[in-house]
Structure 1
Amino acid sequence: MREDFKNKVDRYVAALKSAGKEDIPAIRTEFANWYHALSDVEKDELQPFWQEIKDRARQKIAEIKEALNELQQLQDVKIVVEGAEYDLHEWITISEYSRIHHLKVSRVQNWISRGVVPRGKVLAIPQLNNMKLIKNEIYAKA
């Protein structure tokens, strides 16, 4: 690509990166006007450059899609205990519950023992040494 074309494109990209939202349309219009004023021969000279841009964009889009897919899989975290499936976004450890709700662990354990936290809202996991998870809801002393 000709050096003057490369400089123009570099200035355009730099201007877009540093521009405020309100300035971007004017910058794009100025660049589009410059591009449309080029001869067909000059536009042909730029084709490899545009193809490279498209290829890089497609690669980045593929990477973003892959990352989004991985994030979705992380969000779909479930545990199966005695045949029942539990969404781990709703169930947390007692210590985590205590931290989030600014309570002492002993108070939450006491609530569990006395039934303030209903039995169905506590999950003991035998495979993890009977570690208890609590459904992340607000419980209050009756």
Structure 2
Amino acid sequence: MIDDDYIPGEGDVMPAVWWRVADHFDLTKRLRSSEIPGHPLIAFADEFTSTLRTAGPLYVDLARYTAWDTTSSRNPIERQISQALTDTFPGMFSIVIGAAGPDVSLALRLTRLTDGIATALLEQHGRYQAHRRSPSQ
């Protein structure tokens, strides 16, 4: 289990690796966490806020690139990206359960952001953008 305890002052100085991805990804704050036995990296959407002035651990918000409807038989680009990231970096991403339905997305604790993950995030950002520009949409 990865420790998600908040340390006061966390986020006062951003890690250097953050600046590699900052132009493409947003940050979110986790106000509280849930403990689900056997699933330490599950979160609920209402546990996060875009208001960064509050105390709490910082997360890279990947919802724009990874949110998909779990009841759908479709395989959208967001699901593909989510799968690619979790397959490549198992146990690193929090699975965020949507507040208004059967959707899920990913979030990454900022303290878990590494050069390898940053590279993968930028690759997936490029894949997402290329897919959105594709005329087959």
- Both structures adopt the same fold (TM-score exceeding 0.5): no
Higher-Rg structure is: 1
TM range, smaller chain: under 0.3
TM, length-normalised to structure 1: 0.26
Structure with the bigger percentage of strand = 2
TM-score scaled by length of structure 2 = 0.27
Structure with bigger RCO (C-alpha 8 Å, 6+ apart): 2
More helix by share: 1
